[in-house]
């Protein structure tokens, strides 16, 4: 059990680092970005509880958002906008 957790932590760390340092800067035709960290939940065992898989995916997504500064300021003119920031700005403009 502990060995599996250590292996998953190592795999998650490696996949997040590869994405943040290398693949986050690659934009295929200016639109698509390769998402290698999706490999983590794909390789989960079916015997693993769903809540555990959900927590691993949540932590991985949170780390990606933190290291890529996703949604750091909803008022910025950054070209990398989150859907929530766009929605908030749209609703503010309608008022």
pLDDT tens digits along 43-87: 777 777 888 888 888 888 888 888 877 655 555 555 555 555 554
CB within 8 A of 11, min separation 6: which ones? 40
pTM above 0.75, yes or no: no
Rounded Cα gap, residues 44 and 53, in angstroms: 7
Rounded Cα gap, residues 48 and 55, in angstroms: 12
Q: Please report, for the chain, the start and end positions of each structural domain, with discontinuous segments joined by +.
A: 2-94
């Amino acid at each position: 059990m502990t060995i599996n957790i250590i292996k998953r932590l190592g795999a998650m760390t490696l996949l997040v680092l590869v994405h943040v340092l290398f693949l986050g800067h690659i934009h295929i035709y200016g639109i698509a970005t390769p998402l290698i960290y999706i490999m983590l939940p794909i390789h989960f065992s079916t015997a693993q509880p769903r809540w555990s898989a959900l927590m691993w995916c949540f932590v991985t997504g949170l780390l990606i958002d933190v290291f890529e500064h996703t949604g750091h300021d909803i008022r910025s003119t950054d070209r990398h906008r989150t859907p929530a920031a766009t929605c908030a700005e749209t609703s503010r403009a309608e008022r």
